[in-house]
Structure 1
Amino acid sequence: MWGSEVIDREIAGLVDRSVAEDGLVVVLTGAGVSAESGIPTFRGPEGYWTVGSAVHTPQEIATAAMFARAPEAVWGWYLFRLGVVREAEPNAAHRAIAELDATLSDRFVLITQNVDGLHQRAGSTPGRTYEIHGSLGRMRCSEPCQRELLPLPDEIPAKDRDEALTDHERQLLTCPRCGAWTRPHVLWFDEAYDEAWFRLDSSLDAAGRASLVVTVGTSGATNLPNLVVQQVVRSGGALLDVNPEDNPFGDLARRVERGAAIRAPASQAVPELADRIAVAASAPR
């Protein structure tokens, strides 16, 4: 392991020391992990969408304001994304994180910005997986008349671009209690994190109890991931950033005393890093 391009002696020592402190190990994942399974971020050209005669960016489509104006168009965009997600498979990073979850049990928390469900398909424990941006596989009443999350019906197909919903699909996308539109269970750009839907308090609590946070494939472009990382560092925990590109979390990891940046793809770096964390967790104290 010492000779690998991912885990050098310095990083291994940082892992060993932080895991020996008995705090939580928190893994924070972003779009870079899913990109290695072939899922684009949808913030680029892939996500542009036509509503009426106008073409909108993903940042305009994925909003409560747009849903209020054009719910069917917004649902069409999400069902188009669903088709891409259904074709994807968990990669080596997803599987390694799930194995680490099983090994560390209550010492582990996964915080993910991804809405594709690949972590759960790889075997991550739902109770220790905080989907802070929601899930494409679930929906809820848009009013809301209830707090229950509903599974997206299996009968709902993925949609091609510009393919309209059928009457039957519209019916399946209405709330069974009040008859209003359901909405995708995702955090939109004009909405705020909360505990009930997006595990705000739970994520910050985990950060406060963590001795190590590993950020994987995320640039820290949204608020809660930044708060999590800042809380861990402020509490004296270690920060490891895994990303093939430079990013704010990697820059921070290089500046803090207990930090390191690993410039490698998630599917290469995470399995090796997870193995080292598991070995450190099983070492005699």
Structure 2
Amino acid sequence: MSFERVLDVQLEAADLTFQFGSGIFHPEKVEKRYLKDICASLLDREAKGPDILYSIAMDVGKKDHFEDLRKRNLLYGIVAYNAGLIGNELVRSQGHIHAVSASCQSSTPEVYEIWQGEAYIYMQEFVEDLPGRCVAILAKAGEIVIVPPNWAHYTVNASQNKKMLFGAWCVRDYAFEYKEIRKRQGLAYYPIVEKGVVKWLNNSHYVYEGLEIKQAREYPEFGLSKKNLYTQYEEKMSRFEFVTDPLKYQRIWTEFQP
């Protein structure tokens, strides 16, 4: 499956920055995450790897939609991941939980779409001794993954040889919780590479409960199609209300399967 890009955004692979077309609004400065920023959640806190792990352009879209996205409290972000390894872990984020947003009085979901490369979206129910369900979803270019409210999660570049690029819808007044994750040296599993094969090593700071490894699926329960996420917003601008007002969709979230 390929990704049909409708936003005029190009990745400058050499330095993990972006070039934006004239019809696109975007942040003045791209945020970068460095190896030192995530070391507290790594299998080996002294591991060597790429200095810049990933770059983030939060709040991107077509200029025609600038006001509507603010009115809906909806935000689209684009993130580019470096290739390589951190010790023997794949390049990834440190992991976080979406904090309760004042706008909706709830933790909120995140809706990913892979633009380029392949990614694992890892998620678990709780950051406690018993982490509950632990799921790693492999997504390829053009595929979508939804992380439900309250679940801890991180994003992984599934390839050590190619850069990865994704976009995501989230609530505009987002905030992240890291404290408990850092105390436990990350989430319940580490994505490591042994002899060229991706394996998942359990974190001893949790009770082992098993990991589900899945392929990306479709989400008809939220009215999503196979089209790219931005086009789906353009076709029906209220489509991602389940992101900004998750309590309104509580029945679906209660029955949600990653």
User: Shorter chain as normaliser: what TM range?
Assistant: under 0.3
Per the normalisation by structure 1, the TM-score is 0.26
Report 1 or 2 for greater relative contact order, CA contacts < 8 Å, sequence distance ≥ 6: 1
| Bigger share in helix | 1
CA radius of gyration, larger in: 1
| Bigger share in strand | 2
Per the normalisation by structure 2, the TM-score is 0.28
